[in-house]
């Protein structure tokens, strides 16, 4: 099972109900194939950065679902066939999410360690550097040192 994000642009002149109906249709198609739809977001009409099929704006819809690769193929085929959709982008995000999770955990851990260790450990080392500095400073007169 993989997590995918599907961002597609619907025609701006299509009625809202039609878009909603299409979204429902896609939802059922994903769940029928054994996947789960996690999130559907309608961004509303946005200006496009360039013309697509002579349209200057489009209604963005974001799908997030977890499913197998076969489901995505079918999903994309449906988007391609549909008259409503002018452009779409599929991004696999499960590995990205994993990476982000890991990063976040590392960050939290480090912050946690710091909050425990900081009152005791680092100050002496900084103090030592300060003590050592006056001796080495005259050797490099070209570098302005912070006081």
Partner 1 sequence: MPEFKGRPGSAGQRPTGGDKAVATQKKAYFRRKKVCRFCVEKIDDINYKDMKLLHSFVAERGKIVPRRISGVCAPHQRRLTDAIKKARNIALLPFAAAF
* Residue closer to partner 1 (CB basis): 21 or 100: 100
Residue found under tokens 């977001």: 41
Bridge partners (DSSP) listed for residue 66: 3, 36
**Per-residue binding letters, 105-144, with partner 1 (x by CB under 8 A):** --x----------------------------------xxx
- Residue 4 β-bridge partners: 65, 92
Q: Which of 77, 98, 104, 109 binds partner 1 (CB under 8 A)?
A: 104
- Stated as kind and residue range, the H or E segment containing 74 is helix 69-81
Nearer CB in complex with partner 1: 9/23: 9
Dihedral of alpha carbons 53, 56, 61, 62, sign:
positive
Shortest spacing between CB 52 and partner 1, in angstroms: 6
User: Residue 15: in which H helix or E strand, if any?
Assistant: none
Q: Give, in order, the Cα–Cα distances in Å from 126 to each of 24, 89, 118, 123, 140.
A: 61, 51, 12, 5, 21
The minimum distance between CB 25 and partner 1, in angstroms, equals 21
Near partner 1 in 43-102, by CB under 8 A = 48-50, 52, 58, 62, 87-89, 91, 96, 100
Q: How is residue 127 written in tokens? A: 């103090």
Residues forming contacts to partner 1 in the complex (CB under 8 A) are: 7, 9, 48-50, 52, 58, 62, 87-89, 91, 96, 100, 103-104, 107, 142-144
């Amino acid at each position: 099972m993989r997590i995918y994000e599907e961002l597609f642009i619907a025609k701006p002149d299509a009625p809202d109900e039609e878009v909603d109906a299409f979204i429902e249709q896609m939802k059922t198609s994903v769940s029928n194939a054994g996947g789960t739809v996690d999130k559907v977001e309608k961004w509303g009409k946005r200006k496009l950065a360039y013309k697509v099929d002579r349209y200057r704006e489009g209604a963005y819809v974001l799908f997030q679902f977890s499913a197998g690769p076969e489901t995505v193929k079918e999903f994309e085929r449906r988007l391609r066939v549909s008259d409503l959709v002018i452009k779409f982008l599929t991004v696999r995000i499960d590995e990205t999410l994993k990476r982000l999770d890991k990063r976040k955990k590392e960050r939290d851990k480090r912050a946690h360690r710091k909050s425990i260790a900081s009152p005791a450990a680092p100050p002496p080392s900084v103090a030592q550097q300060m003590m050592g500095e006056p001796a080495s400073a005259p050797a490099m007169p070209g570098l302005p040192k912070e006081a």
